[in-house]
Structure 1
Amino acid sequence: MSNTMRIAMNGYIVVIGGINVDIKGKAFDKIFIGTSNPGAIEISPGGVGRNIAHNLALLNVPVMLLSAIGSDAQGAKVLKDTGSHGVCVDHVLRSDVSLTGTYIALLDNMGEMTAALSDMQILEKLDVDYFKSKLGVLKNASYIICDANLPAASIEFILSTANSFGIPVCLEPVSVKKALKLKNYLSRIDFITPNLDELEALTGMNAKTDKAELMAAQLIESGVKNVITTLGKEGLCYTNVIGSKRYRSIPSTVSDVTGAGDSLTAGFIYGLMKHGSIEKALICGLAAAAITVSSKETVNPLLSEENISRLTLECSLDNMLQ
């Protein structure tokens, strides 16, 4: 399988998507539905787009974030925190009529997600007119990473703009419901990073009877160039027009899985920019995910080029392939 691409080795990444307040509750013991469960609750900056941008900044990748916050204390705090880590937040929209997005996640005592609820209505403010005003930012990017929290019309505009200027786009489906809005634009997508549930939604197939490879192949037939199916502790499945390969996850002590997919996407794009190789980039993504799940924080401050390099050096390609 060919795994090398021509990649811009300089420039900046534009990340488009959610920026919000994360509220995470982790149970001390087994969760019982319908009653209160003892546990620990933490509040931190979050949002798929924001998390990806933060991870890229930790990996010394120049990154601009396009998103929206409310004119409230929560939004100001999240934006200040995000900017302090090196993410350019100059182009984030401030709304006087909408509240900053909020995400609530319930984790079991093993750190696995049981349920989640997100209020991302503010991202409806990121309409086509907003992105037209950011055309100068978009057209000069080396990569665009976009999450599916955006209105469908905005996603279509971003993809059309990127295609016009030859900029590769990576789409993060975010959730089953939000993944559905991507179905009309599959032929314009360079990279997509669904989990199995999102892959089911995109293909109409059933993961219980159809393998990830088969479902991903359907996306390739629909025009997607590269499909990276995340499989949790089982690693990932990479699919392109030539075929599929599975890569094992990198062993790590799991504290909290929240944010693992976001860091995998960031690590993958970082790997593409640094190495220009799909296989090396995938291993960088898995290394970033391993670092992330070892921390209770959604974005692990220990994520760095040095730690990515250390983990990838310990993992030969033969050992990573399943």
Structure 2
Amino acid sequence: MVRGTVAVIGGANLDIVARSGRPVQIATSNPGRTVATPGGVGRNVAENLARLGAPVSLVAVIGRDDAGRRVLRQTAAAGVDVEHVTRVDSPTGTYTAVLGDDGELVVAIADMAATEAMDVARLPMSLLESAELLVLDGNLPLPVIEHVLVHVGTPVLLDPVSAPKAGRLSGLLDGRHQLHTITPDRHELAALTGEPTGTCAQIAYAARTLLDRGVRRVWVRQGACGSTLITGVDTVHIPAIAAVPVDVTGAGDAMLAAYVQALLTGRGDEDAARDGAAAAYLTITSPHTVRPDLSTCAVERIRREHPAPPVQREVPSPRRKDVI
């Protein structure tokens, strides 16, 4: 049983995803197909949570344009509370992604002008303080993220979003503020810490520097190699479920949402992360950024069909650069 609500603060925009029909050739036109759907890291996480049965509210900024109306309408229809989504005169943001013929991301451009209009005055503090968990999207302006970390006692999960966005977050992780979980990939982890992350040992070292800076759990996403969950107790590698990708867009958002939903039901970190791996599998094997038939039953089915291999667990050792 879900024990509380989630508030998600972050981007809500229109995703434009172009997939090439053959291996991509740079600096020329490539035949393929293009689709436009509601997106944004925060919005996607919120919709995934709603489809998984969690009570969720979205705090975001969108434009007073056709794209904004479409995003708002479809997000509400998925079961997300959109009462705290603000409309502004700036255009609704866009995320434009180019995928190869194998479904893997080639390049993406994020135009988040509307999200950058989010400020502290737009934060519904009573909602944030009454939620059981908060999810923050790294696209948010730094003053907003810092205000939440300083003034809201609710546990916070932070998605750094990208390496450039992660680099500017580094100054907030200085030991003054507690974070429940941060979810970088290895490039974002390097930007957050200034440490190399080319090997598993380097990833573990860099992650543990974040533990020293007020982060309680570092969940490093490693794509087809799975993910690694590092806490003050141990380090657990969670393999990805082998899949032929249709579209990788939104996999990380589904992964985070399933993790949060499992935590809301009282499950442990490792079990919740395995739900995340199942949700990521369901998403990359679908053409949708947010899979419309995503559910806890679907996640449980995938976990039954792909039972977890023996746990690869490492007990933390003292952080010493000379052992990397």
**TM-score category by the smaller chain?**
over 0.9
Tell me how far apart the structure 1 counterparts of residues 116 and 122 of structure 2 sit (CA, whole Å). 11
Q: Which residue of 2 aligns with 1:63?
A: 56
Tell me how far apart the structure 2 counterparts of residues 237 and 214 of structure 1 sit (CA, whole Å). 12
Q: Which residue of 2 aligns with 1:172?
A: 159
Q: Which residue of 2 aligns with 1:138?
A: 128
Q: Which residue of 2 aligns with 1:181?
A: 168
1:252 and 1:291 in contact (8 A); partners too: no
Q: Give 1:150 deviation, angstroms.
A: 0.9
Q: Which residue of 2 aligns with 1:313?
A: 304
Secondary structure of 1:121 counterpart: coil
Q: Give 1:180 deviation, angstroms.
A: 1.9
Q: Which residue of 2 aligns with 1:102?
A: 94
Q: Which residue of 1 aligns with 2:4?
A: 11
Q: Give 1:121 deviation, angstroms.
A: 1.3
Tell me how far apart the structure 2 counterparts of residues 63 and 189 of structure 1 sit (CA, whole Å). 20
Structure 2 unmatched runs, 5+? 314-324
Q: Which residue of 1 aligns with 2:40?
A: 47
TM-score (norm 2): 0.92
Q: Give 1:296 deviation, angstroms.
A: 1.3
Q: Which residue of 2 aligns with 1:125?
A: 117
Tell me how far apart the structure 2 counterparts of residues 49 and 159 of structure 1 sit (CA, whole Å). 17
> Within 5 Å, which residues of 2 pair with 1:244-259?
244-259=235-250
Amino acid across the alignment from 2:136: C
1:286-316 CA-partner distances (Å, limit 9, x unpaired)? 1110100001110111211111111223444
TM-score (norm 1): 0.92
Q: Give 1:9 deviation, angstroms.
A: 4.2
Q: Which residue of 2 aligns with 1:214?
A: 205
Count of residue pairs the alignment pairs up = 309
Deviates more, 1:111-120 or 1:215-224: 215-224
Deviates more, 1:203-212 or 1:16-25: 203-212
1:249 and 1:320 in contact (8 A); partners too: no
Q: Would you say 1:33 and 2:26 are equivalent positions? A: yes
Change (3 A) 1:311 1:319: farther
Q: Give 1:46 deviation, angstroms.
A: 0.4
Amino acid across the alignment from 2:44: N
Tell me how far apart the structure 2 counterparts of residues 319 and 289 of structure 1 sit (CA, whole Å). 20
Tell me how far apart the structure 2 counterparts of residues 36 and 235 of structure 1 sit (CA, whole Å). 33
Amino acid across the alignment from 1:274: T
Q: Would you say 1:160 and 2:134 are equivalent positions? A: no
Change (3 A) 1:320 1:235: farther
Q: Would you say 1:223 and 2:214 are equivalent positions? A: yes
Tell me how far apart the structure 2 counterparts of residues 176 and 42 of structure 1 sit (CA, whole Å). 26
Change (3 A) 1:11 1:208: closer
Over aligned residues, Cα RMSD in angstroms?
A: 1.5
Secondary structure of 2:38 counterpart: strand
Q: Give 1:317 deviation, angstroms.
A: 4.3
1:215-244 CA-partner distances (Å, limit 9, x unpaired)? 211111222110000000111000011231
Q: Which residue of 2 aligns with 1:78?
A: 71
Q: Which residue of 1 aligns with 2:317?
A: none
